[in-house]
Amino acid sequence: MKAWKKIVPAVAVLGLVLTACGQGNSNKSSDSSSKEQSTKMSDSSSSSSNDSSSNSSSDKSSSNESSSNSSSSNGSMSSSKANSDNSGLGNEKLPRSSSEKSQMNGNNSNYNVKYSSDGATFNKKTYNNSSEASQNVDYQSSDSTKGLPSVDLGYNVKGHEDRGAGQAYVSTNFGNWSLVSHGNTQNGGDSALSNAKAATQFIQSNALPIPQGKGSIKLENDSQSSVTWQEGNVVYTVKAPNVNSALKMATSIK
């Protein structure tokens, strides 16, 4: 009986100890589970944050790429427009606007431009040297008209006239420029003289290009008139179907 009384309290104490250990293990397991869940949540949050950052970076990359493509496209358009504006001739000055061109052949050294409005042309020819270029200007010196009858062209300008076989030529000189006007007199007309006077008047108020060498004006009443001038080893020539157009084209180039 006494032994039984001693065993009961011992069993009770052991039960309390076991209960306490069970609660401790349960708490540890709970803490471990809580920490594991917290870690998983943290990892999940970090992963979500990284995914968001990755998506943001991807969006930025896509935006930059789009901006780059847009910039490239704009650059291409500008380049295309620039090529269209300079017409392949760089800084070359033309006597008429580009919109009037119907045909252009050649490069910066040698080219010919034809205009659709009236068939006028503008030509550039480059020679080996200035001496060779000068020989292709067709300049006529005042010595070649000595002894011919003189005519008054107005503005104190004296010309010389050569007539024969139904043809008339009136010639004069302006500085480095020579002018020769040709016309037919078979029908009693005097277009050579009238065109020479009109050209003299026009030149008084419109500046011709300044030749680095010589310049030549050929006026034809029934065919193309021309204005030709030298700049070093280069010769420029304007041709137009009438006297007025040829002179206007030449004086428009500065």
| Least confident stretch, 121-125, 153-157, 188-192, 244-248 | 188-192
Contacts of 106 (CB under 8 A, 6+ apart): 112, 124
**14: pLDDT confidence band, cut at 50, 70 and 90?**
very low
If phi over 0 gives left and psi between -120 and 50 gives alpha, with beta otherwise, what is residue 64? alpha
Q: Which residue type does 95 have?
A: P
Sorted by where each begins, the domain ranges of the chain are: 1-86, 98-251
pLDDT at 62 over 80: no
pLDDT at 108 over 70: yes
Mean pLDDT score, 162-176: 94
pLDDT at 52 over 50: no
Place of tokens 């009438």: 242
Phi, psi of 178 (to 5 degrees): -115, 150
Q: Is residue 159 a contact partner of residue 153, using CB atoms and an 8 Å limit?
A: yes
What integer pLDDT is reported at residue 172 of this predicted model?
97
Which token pair is 144? 């070649």
Taking residue 163's Cβ as centre, other Cβ atoms within 10 Å add up to 16
DSSP state of 183: E
For the whole model, what pTM was predicted? 0.65
